[in-house]
Every structure is written in structure tokens, then in C-alpha cells.
Amino acid sequence: MLYKVPLLLSPQPEGGFTVTSPLLPELLTEGDTAEEALANVQDALAAVVEIYEDLGRTLPPNLCVADADHSVWLETLVVSS
């Protein structure tokens, strides 16, 4: 299943980054770098989806990409050295 999840990447004063989602308040992960924090999102999202399924809750309707055979608008963070 493909999900289109809005994410908020927040730098932390002590270093590293925290990632949250305004659509999924249960999604929370972090990393020492932006790349690491974003890489951890997949595991965090899998855990949130499992929690929703266990509780019988439905995910927000715009989160699931219904047709993976067509283009999907995506914004991402690209870190250049």
C-alpha cells in the first residue's frame, strides 16, 4: 500500500531532528540527521497503521494512494553537500 503522508521535520536544540505528521498525531520518530530521521518514517508509519488496524480505526481518507499506477505529487527533502 502506498501512503501520502504530510510530515513536519523539526530540528532539535540538542541536535538531530524529530518527525511528526499533522494527519497522524501518533506518528513520531527522530534521527541524528535529516536523512536518518526521514528513513525512520517508514517504520514509524508501519507501527501507526498497525495500531489503527488493531483499534479498528480507519486512516484519514486522503492518506492512502488508491491508484499506484498513476503519478503522485510528492515533495521531499534533498540534502546537498
Query: Rounded distance, CA 14 to CA 11, Å?
Result: 9
Domain ranges within the chain, ordered by starting residue = 1-69
As beta bridge partners, residue 64 has 3
Band of pLDDT at residue 51, cut at 50, 70 and 90: very high
Q: What is the pLDDT of residues 3-35, one digit of tens each?
A: 889 999 999 999 999 999 999 999 999 999 999
Band of pLDDT at residue 78, cut at 50, 70 and 90: confident
CA angle 53, 57, 63 (to 5 degrees): 85
Q: What pTM does this model have?
A: 0.85
Fold (CATH) for 1-69: Double Stranded RNA Binding Domain (3.30.160)
- Arithmetic mean of pLDDT, 43-47: 96
